[in-house]
Chains A and B, each alone.
Chain A
């Protein structure tokens, strides 16, 4: 074997091993992050974290009960705002629209999707906070909902479009109107994919902090109703991590663990649902 050939073979094995190293490092980073959060967050999580309200500055023993509920409310309201728009808009694109209108809507959705979250925050401040003269959960939900729309829209369109012609034609042969076909045949066939997309959109906005700084602000107490400022997990993490207090650092780790745990669970759930496959008729 010539020297040159030996070198090429060596190089080949070396470089390919390096790519393995790259892949290993990339995945290892995830486990390091998780490990760090579990370690630091785990020892900080206690019952008080889930049930108590924040204490005055410098005092220990407070918790993030209001932030947990606040985040839950924000996610609920943002889904109620963003999902119907994305879902129904996606139905329009997949079932009713012509090519021209469809590409305009799609383009707008892609544009909206690419807007950095801080800019969404600016927009939400001028639309949902200034005119009403107060920060509120609804304003935060508006900002987060905006971010859910493009994912929901594109996924709905995609999964509805993937439903086989057989199903549509079968329904129509039976005399069903378009709308009936959509609601009783097409959407149920595509629901797994759409649900996955909604869950992924939810997971994405659950961790968003920047838009909330300008809309939901923060609250040391329970936020009643939907028109008051509210605490949220991401904003609490942001505030506490940058403070000098050890107790607040501890709580930030705990909150980070809870938040990341929630997001990862949603992601894993979503992907498992999708991998079970979209219902396809037999025969």
Chain B
């Protein structure tokens, strides 16, 4: 009978050891859109402040909002700002306000895998809406070839790829399509999860990128850095001034220029299809969701400290990952808003 006793003691010792605390863990969940920059930021911040760990789970904006409302994570992240109903639900359930803090500006690009086509295809709003409504089904449809003279497009079916999870990137995409297509607006509308007329679902920006990469004749919508990091081509989009713009820092910054001046107090704003000759039409802010009341003082200070760092040093990191910096006016407003976190 001795051996089981020794084994039990070893097991208990392991258990107790595992109970030992080590450092502050702050859990967050949400958008995959900014995951590349968030994971870099949190890693850098952890290098600077060894005992503060921000555990960010890239599970989609929908999950971020839901988990915040359920109170199971300390902070959330989303690229689709919470709707009034969702905010009300949060306030009722959690008894505090939910604060949106913009972190970066990013672009959603139409990325595709058409064998033989390595250049950037030009997409008009009608083409994008038509493809995702299921009305344009082949790559050599006149609407597409019309905007891409000289490119050899095959007579193959378009494999449409969208998100299978609740996604802020979906919100940005459908927000844009709702603005440029009345049919889309009435049939599908904008949200983090919609009733897609056609297509396959991939999980996260990662999943969509993976599917596009592996599936010939596919088209999908992803945040710019995912297309860049994985070397898949992405197209230009015609903006409201009629110019075909390829997503880049200048285009995204231009799209945010108008909103920067008129930023509402709660920072919820849409900049898709923005005015301006150089504006990239499918741009967006992305937000961290922070509760206005945080009981744990160490957590509260850590979060406030991170936000201040993010708005200063952190902004210096974003451009190498193809995100655009926040406009100065927005940064100033946010620094003031940090004091709202009690």
Q: Mark A residues whose CB is within 8 Å of B.
A: 55-58, 73, 76-77, 80, 129-130, 133-135, 217-226, 228-229, 239, 242-245
Contact = CB atoms under 8 A, between A and B. Distances in A.
Nearest to A239: B206
Given A220-B39, A220-B55, A244 B18 contact: no
B73 A134 contact: yes
Given A57-B39, A226-B18, A242-B210, A134 B72 contact: yes
Nearest to B40: A56
A240 to B, nearest CB: 9
A224 B43 contact: no
Interface string B62-96: 00000000111100000000000000000000000
Nearest to B53: A221
Interface in B187-240: 202-204, 206-207, 209-210, 213, 225-226, 229-230
B116 interface: no
B57 A244 contact: no
B25 A228 contact: yes
Contacts of A130: 70, 72
B206 to A, nearest CB: 4
B36 A56 contact: yes
B226 A244 contact: yes
Contacts of B29: 217
Given A217-B29, A221-B25, A222-B22, 16 more contacts: A57-B39, A76-B15, A80-B11, A133-B71, A133-B72, A135-B73, A220-B53, A225-B18, A225-B21, A226-B18, A242-B204, A242-B207, A243-B204, A244-B226, A244-B230, A245-B230
Interface in B16-50: 18-23, 25, 27, 29, 35-36, 39-40, 42-43, 46
Contacts, number: 92
A22 B326 CA distance: 63
Interface of B: 11, 14-15, 18-23, 25, 27, 29, 35-36, 39-40, 42-43, 46, 53, 55-58, 70-73, 202-204, 206-207, 209-210, 213, 225-226, 229-230
18 contacts: A56-B36, A57-B39, A76-B15, A77-B15, A130-B70, A134-B72, A217-B57, A220-B39, A223-B25, A224-B21, A226-B18, A229-B57, A242-B204, A242-B206, A242-B210, A244-B210, A244-B229, A245-B230
| Most chain B CB atoms below 10 A, which of A80, A220, A226 | A220
Given A220-B55, A224-B22, A226-B19, A244 B36 contact: no
Contacts of B57: 217-218, 220, 229
Contacts of B210: 242-244
Contacts of A77: 15
Contacts of A57: 35-36, 39-40, 58
B25 A76 contact: no
B101 to A, nearest CB: 21
Contacts of A129: 72
Contacts of B25: 219, 221, 223-224, 228
Given A217-B29, A225-B19, A58 B206 contact: no
Nearest to A184: B1
A149 B62 CA distance: 34
Contacts of B40: 56-57
A135 B27 contact: yes
Which 4 A-B residue pairs are closest in the complex by CB-CB distance?
A56-B39, A243-B206, A244-B209, A244-B210
Contacts of A134: 27, 72-73
Contacts of B36: 56-58
B27 A229 contact: yes
In terms of DSSP, what is the predominant structure of the interface of chain B? helix
Contacts of A244: 206, 209-210, 213, 226, 229-230
A56 B43 contact: yes
A222 B55 CA distance: 10
Nearest to B228: A58
Contacts of A73: 18
Contacts of A55: 43
B339 to A, nearest CB: 25
A71 to B, nearest CB: 13
A224 B18 contact: yes
B57 to A, nearest CB: 5
A228 B74 CA distance: 12
A242 B229 CA distance: 16
A239 B205 CA distance: 12
A173 to B, nearest CB: 23
A242 B18 contact: no
A76 B46 CA distance: 29
Contacts of B21: 224-225
Contacts of A224: 18-23, 25
Contacts of A222: 22
Contacts of A219: 25, 55
A239 B57 CA distance: 11
Contacts of B53: 220-221
Given A76-B11, A242-B206, A244-B226, A221 B72 contact: no
A221 B42 CA distance: 11
Given A244-B209, A244-B210, A225 B20 contact: yes
A237 B222 CA distance: 22
Contacts of A218: 55, 57
Contacts of A133: 70-72
Contacts of A58: 36, 225, 229
A218 B21 CA distance: 18
A53 to B, nearest CB: 10
Nearest to A135: B72
A100 to B, nearest CB: 34
